[in-house]
Amino acid sequence: MHAATVLLAFSALASAADPPARPNILLIQADDLGFSDLGCYGGEIATPNLDALAKNGLRFRQFYNCARCCPTRASLITGLYPHQAGVGEMNADTGQPGYRGFPQPNTVTIAEVLKAAGYHTSIVGKWHLGGPKRPAPTDRGFDEFYGMIGGFNSCFQEDPFYTRLPTGRTKREYAKDAFYSTDVFGDYALDFLALARKEKKPFFQYFAFNAPHFPLQARPDDIKKNADSYAIGWDKVRGARHQKQIDLGLVRKATPVSPRSPYTTRSDFLRIAENPEWDTLETDLRADLARRMALYAAMVECMDRNIGRVIDDLRKHGEFDNRGARSAAARRMIRLKWSGRPRWCSRDRSPRTHSTRTKSQRNRLAPGDPTRVTRLLIAQSKSAVQSASCLMTAMPNLPSAIYSWTKLKKSWVTDAGAAALRKSISKVKVDR
């Protein structure tokens, strides 16, 4: 899975005498989105809202995921390598420690950390970290959920594919033929932000789109806008994207266009070959492929539009551009690299067998145990620097949400302990 991820942090205005405000956090993820698809990364697809965020933020030229869907999501929400989280491949449970198919009870999610720190936590979109008999998002720290538990479904049919949790929560009602999942995700994202405001809590929202993952399904008007965009073929599209990436400074001027990729089809109609020059394809095949790409672009544009709805809502409530309350460290993203390794990992970072872990690291606590987050953060805190949790450490205004991995004692780090927390962060290699 090629996943694109955007992290936004916002804070309410505060006077100099007020304690630092805890920032609201919006984590946006796209599914199967290519590196050069967005306008801000060289693409021709209209993504004005994401482009605006990129213009006023940072774009990474090196960003890695875990190649497939479930491992990437497990790593993102736990801050661990996917094998450490128990999701080394997909949902299948092989019985081996690194391949259980869902985040294990001896892991802590970013939602669990933030919920314990007083945040309203929600997820909209795709979960894909378990199944019907495995922990749901609301079992792993999220207050509210709407979306798919599995990997993909129809974008136009709600029942029985899309779920509202906790059980008993009222679903929105949509007129016949009015349901389209990406737009519905936007509706629920706004609903959950409103709930956080009603409860007067800072929010953490994981906005996890299924788009543009298959099936390729989009609204007719969006398809129509892109109908003629790809008739020129992939060779010319790739050339134009490459030149735009050079103009944007994303790649060096001397960087050549990558070669056409090889492909391998499914085993039931196995073919192994290399993608050919566009002009060598038959006319009807070119038309079919151009139509598919128009559908794909339409899905991306719809996703961007719904991101824009959320951004507009944040602006409306004065929660988007209140930069005065944030320190310089909170305004910039910092990449953190942990130089050590978790105690229960071997030198190559692969998880050791269950029996070699200490008592506090073993699966002795049920997900609902109120002491679980505090205890397990002690075991996980070192390796949690790896992804989602490391982003929190770049925000000194959020000390109450982070457990100090150098102290590893009895209590949460409080606002008064912010200086000590920042000192502990100095033990981590920082690339600015």
How is residue 333 written in tokens?
């993203």
Output the DSSP codes for 314-374: HHHTT-SS-GGGS-HHHHS--EEE--S--TTB-TTSPBPPGGGS-GGGSS-S-TT-TTHHH
Q: Residue 3 is inside which H or E element, if any?
A: strand 3-10
Residues in the chain: 432
pLDDT at 53: 93
- Tell me, what's the pLDDT at 11? 52
User: Any residues with CB less than 8 A from the CB of 417 and at least 6 apart, and which?
Assistant: 399, 404
Q: Is 277 exposed, middle or buried (0-12, 13-18, 19+ CB in 10 A)?
A: exposed
Count the neighbouring beta carbons within 10 Å of the beta carbon of residue 340. 12
Closest alpha carbon to 324 in 6, 7, 15: 15
d(CA 39, CA 248): 10
The reported pLDDT for the residue numbered 22 is: 84
* pTM for the full predicted model: 0.75
At 39, the amino acid letter reads G
Pinpoint the alpha helices (H) of 204-325.
220-225, 234-248, 283-316
User: What type of residue sits at position 129?
Assistant: L
Domain ranges for the chain, please list them.
3-12+19-223+293-330, 332-356+383-431
pLDDT at res. 371: 43
Establish whether the linkage from the previous residue to 19 is cis, with ω within 30° of 0. Answer: no
Could you say which DSSP state residue 215 is in?
Answer: S
Tell me the H-state helices in 131-228.
181-198, 220-225
Burial class for 348, CB neighbours closer than 10 Å (0-12, 13-18, 19+): exposed
**Which residues are bridge partners to 148 per DSSP?**
126
- pLDDT tens track for 117-127: 999 999 999 99
Superfamily designation of domain 3-12+19-223+293-330: Alkaline Phosphatase, subunit A (3.40.720.10)
Q: Active-site positions?
A: 69, 128
pLDDT number for residue 176: 84
DSSP 3-state of 29: strand
Task: Give the bridge partners for 273, in sequence order.
Answer: 263
Element (H, E) at 423: helix 418-425
The reported pLDDT for the residue numbered 359 is: 41
- Spatial contact of 230 and 294, defined as CB atoms under 8 Å apart: yes
Tokens of 165: 């949790």
pLDDT tens series, the chain, 432 aa? 556 666 665 554 443 445 557 899 999 999 999 889 999 999 999 999 999 999 988 888 887 788 888 899 999 999 999 999 999 888 888 888 889 988 888 899 999 999 999 999 999 999 989 877 788 999 999 999 999 988 889 999 999 999 999 999 999 999 988 999 999 999 999 999 999 999 999 999 999 999 999 999 999 999 999 999 999 999 999 999 999 999 999 999 999 999 998 999 988 889 999 999 999 999 999 999 999 999 999 999 999 999 999 999 999 999 987 543 333 333 222 222 222 333 333 333 333 333 333 444 333 334 444 344 444 444 443 333 333 333 333 333 333 333 332 233 233 334 444 444 444 444 433 333
- pLDDT tens string 259-302: 998 999 988 889 999 999 999 999 999 999 999 999 999 999 99
